[in-house]
Chain A
């Protein structure tokens, strides 16, 4: 995200009027998906103070970040299994002044090239962060990293990088597959299990392959290359701390190769999203 600080410095200031230190500011926050064929899961938007840090490069991800980056889950309503571990547990209730923060989930899958816009009440908090998972990936997310909310009325643009939460190896295996299982026998997909999330969702499934042998880890092998108990098992390892995502690999085979992603569709380069914030005149 910090790639875009120049954009901040050169942001088009629209309708400059007398500024003042504002309290409850109603921002208009919009996000555009700049990738070729990745979808973005419901957006977590947080206004917060210095004590809240949703993610930090070089630092191990929280469980809340792992839920967001592996499964696109922010709160209990999305997945009851995440209760006590998700961002709702970390931050407090949504659309509430939680002291250090206030946050909202803005729902719906955001398709490539699409833009959505939301009104967002900052409740006087000085910083803003926005996180959304890229699917289909193992644990990639686009992040706006604790920017200082501008106080001058105007329109501000920020460009977001794709980060790797580091909580799951990038095996790039289709989570709807039943010919392979998590080590020990569990199904693939979602939080705490190997495989890319969202593979079964209608917008993604037509472009998902099967038969891949695994990218960052190989089906049937542990991370050190030794054989697992079952030849169809996939190990669930980590590759943290949080860092810039090296991009998906993909391949051009729908039925074989290492990856179940398509290298002609599912790759990206930073920036992967643009966030525009409109600060209204008081």
Chain B
């Protein structure tokens, strides 16, 4: 049983806990046809900024990605370039769509701003949340929620999800200035949109999988040669899972 538990923690993308059930709010001030959820993303990494997130409330059926399968072009846009636009468009076009917002980017080691989603109260019992954001000092790493259950939350109730980082599998992890959109690449003479999305799929396997972390150029001159000489990332760009804490509270 213990082994099984360890496996579950390791494999599950996220796990949740009901933090508080202090539903002391009385009636929904007359407007009970809408339910409202506040989503807050905390960046748990030392130095990886998060791109503006694609935050989507939906019914079961829609999924922004499937582990072990190829990423959609929309996910590739987010994972390589940090753009949530296409992923949000894709979600809005889905039959299961309820509401979506683009969250603000979140700096490393900080608590992000609150994003609010509104859905019809009739949808509460089947409600899912997907919220994805790129670690922008990487080739194609992202973290977040993939159609996680947030159904039947009471007003005032909170759920906390700790999320791991994924590799979209759409770009080789070269860690070079011309292939990453974030500030580390910018400082090395690259970065920005031109270093973000590329339609070419040149990773070793075109499947979404758990990210193995960045190698960085630390220890490149060490006798072990552990570092990646051609990487423009330094040791501060490394992370361990979980990389994000996502707090969801039903506020109405």
Question: Which A residues have a C-beta under 8 Å from some C-beta of B?
Answer: 2-12, 57-59, 147, 157, 159, 161-162, 164, 166, 215-216, 239-247, 249, 251-253, 257-258, 263, 268-271
Contacts and interface: CB of A to CB of B under 8 A. Distances in A.
Contacts of A161: 162, 240, 242
Contact of A166 (B47, B109, B162): B109
B235 A249 contact: yes
B219 A270 contact: no
Given A57-B42, A244-B239, 15 more contacts: A3-B15, A5-B17, A7-B5, A7-B8, A7-B9, A9-B15, A11-B5, A161-B240, A240-B109, A241-B109, A244-B243, A246-B46, A253-B223, A258-B222, A270-B240
Nearest to B238: A246
17 contacts: A2-B245, A3-B9, A3-B241, A5-B17, A8-B17, A10-B8, A58-B42, A166-B109, A215-B235, A241-B109, A243-B44, A244-B241, A244-B243, A251-B224, A252-B219, A258-B218, A269-B241
B109 A58 contact: yes
Contacts of A270: 240-242
Contacts, number: 128
A5 B241 contact: no
A58 B41 CA distance: 10
Contacts of B2: 157
B6 A159 contact: yes
A247 B235 CA distance: 10
Contacts of A6: 8-9, 12, 15-16
Interface in B103-127: 108-111
A96 B236 CA distance: 42
Nearest to A1: B162
B202 interface: no
Nearest to B219: A251
Interface residues of B, number: 38
A147 B161 CA distance: 14
Nearest to B221: A257
B173 interface: no
A161 B15 CA distance: 14
Contacts of B162: 2-3, 5, 161
Contacts of B12: 6
SS of A interface (majority): loop
Most chain B CB within a 10 A radius of its CB, from A4, A57, A246, A269: A246
Given A4-B15, A252-B222, A258-B222, A244 B160 contact: no
B200 interface: no
Interface in B128-187: 160-162
Contact of B45 (A8, A241, A243): A243
A53 B240 CA distance: 23
A273 B42 CA distance: 23
A159 B160 CA distance: 15
A216 B236 contact: yes
Contacts of B238: 246-247, 249
Given A3-B162, A162-B240, A249-B235, A57 B222 contact: no
Contact of B160 (A2, A216, A263): A2
Contact of B9 (A4, A216, A245): A4
A157 B223 contact: no
Most chain A CB within a 10 A radius of its CB, from B47, B218, B223, B238: B218
Contacts of A59: 111
Interface string B75-116: 000000000000000000000000000000000111100000
B1 interface: yes
A11 to B, nearest CB: 8
A259 B243 CA distance: 24
Interface in B213-252: 218-219, 222-224, 226, 235-236, 238-243, 245
Nearest to B216: A249
Nearest to B2: A157
Interface string B50-91: 000000000000000000000000000000000000000000
Most chain B CB within a 10 A radius of its CB, from A157, A161, A244, A251: A244
The 4 closest A-B pairs by CB, nearest first: A6-B15, A5-B17, A252-B224, A58-B111
Contact of A243 (B9, B46, B161): B46
B17 A2 contact: yes
Nearest to A250: B219
Nearest to B4: A10
A164 B242 contact: no
A243 B222 contact: no
A125 to B, nearest CB: 15
A166 B43 CA distance: 14
A215 B153 CA distance: 45
Nearest to A32: B2
Contacts of A58: 42-44, 109-111, 245
